[in-house]
């Protein structure tokens, strides 16, 4: 079954708030609303979201256009980085590099990449098993676990070279198209501004 995976766009960074509770920024919301207006989201699309606020906010806009409700699954969340909490951008990038470079190791208590990959693959698979054949499906989630899912689908090693920032918008808000049953990546990370009705056929 074909499905679209979307990473949330830009967020309002607030070191005083746990990362899973961050909201979309004004720029992120503007991009999300423009995507919903232009992408040609079919009525009746099943919309799944991680339990993180930024993903839910994005998913709610999509579901409203589709005339459906958001199905929230906390197991679709980003890799667990709660052991370190908020990190300044340069330190975060260094940690993310290590996360992808050493997928079988826990980087300062972060969830291991291989465990995050197994979690996202399993939960996307279960979600798709509950959907009628031919129904359009969108997953709203995050760049890190999205990349891990993409690596699985494309049968590529876990690597930060596969991360969304190397293919699409560096602020997030990117998409890829896949067929889970065939374990096939149909379109790689693409800025959501370039997603059109053909993605849902």
Mean pLDDT of 13-23: 95
Residue among 16, 83, 11 nearest 52 (CA): 11
Q: How many domains does the chain have?
A: 1
Residue span of the structural domain in which 68 resides: 2-200
* Residue-wise pLDDT tens digits, 55-73: 999 999 999 999 999 999 9
- pLDDT at position 6 is 98
What does the pLDDT look like over 73-90, one tens digit per residue?
999 999 999 999 999 999
Q: Give, in order, the Cα–Cα distances in Å from 162 to each of 70, 97, 172.
A: 28, 12, 14
Q: Are 58 and 49 in contact (CB under 8 A)?
A: yes
Whole-angstrom distance, CA of residue 78 vs CA of residue 71 = 16
**Separation CA 38–CA 120 (nearest Å):** 28
Share of the chain above pLDDT 70, in %: 100
pLDDT (0 to 100) of residue 201: 86
The span from the CA of 110 to the CA of 174, in Å, is 24
CATH code at 22? 3.40.50.1240
Mean pLDDT for all residues in the chain: 97
Residue 149 · residue 114 · CB < 8 Å? no
pLDDT tens-digit map of 180-200 = 999 999 999 999 999 999 999
Chain centre distance of CA 170? 14
pTM above 0.95, yes or no: yes
Residue pLDDT, tens place only, 105-147: 999 999 999 999 999 999 999 999 999 988 999 999 999 999 9
């Amino acid at each position: 079954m074909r499905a679209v995976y979307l990473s949330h766009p830009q967020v309002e960074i607030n070191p005083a708030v746990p990362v899973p509770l961050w909201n979309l920024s004004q720029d992120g919301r503007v991009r999300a609303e423009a995507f919903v207006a232009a992408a040609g989201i079919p009525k009746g699309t099943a919309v799944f979201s991680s339990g993180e606020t930024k993903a839910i906010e994005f998913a709610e806009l999509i579901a409203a256009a589709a005339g459906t409700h958001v199905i929230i699954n906390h197991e679709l969340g980003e890799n667990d980085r709660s052991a370190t909490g908020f990190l300044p951008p340069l330190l975060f990038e260094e940690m993310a590099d290590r996360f992808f470079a050493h997928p079988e190791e826990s980087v300062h208590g972060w969830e291991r990449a291989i465990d995050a990959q197994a979690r996202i693959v399993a939960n996307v698979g279960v979600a798709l098993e509950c959907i009628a054949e031919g129904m359009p499906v969108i997953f709203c989630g995050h760049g890190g676990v999205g990349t891990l899912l993409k690596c699985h689908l494309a049968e590529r090693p876990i690597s930060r070279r596969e991360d969304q920032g190397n293919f699409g918008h560096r602020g997030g808000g990117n998409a890829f198209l896949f067929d889970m049953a065939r374990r096939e990546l149909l379109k790689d990370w693409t800025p959501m501004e370039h997603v059109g009705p053909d993605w849902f056929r």
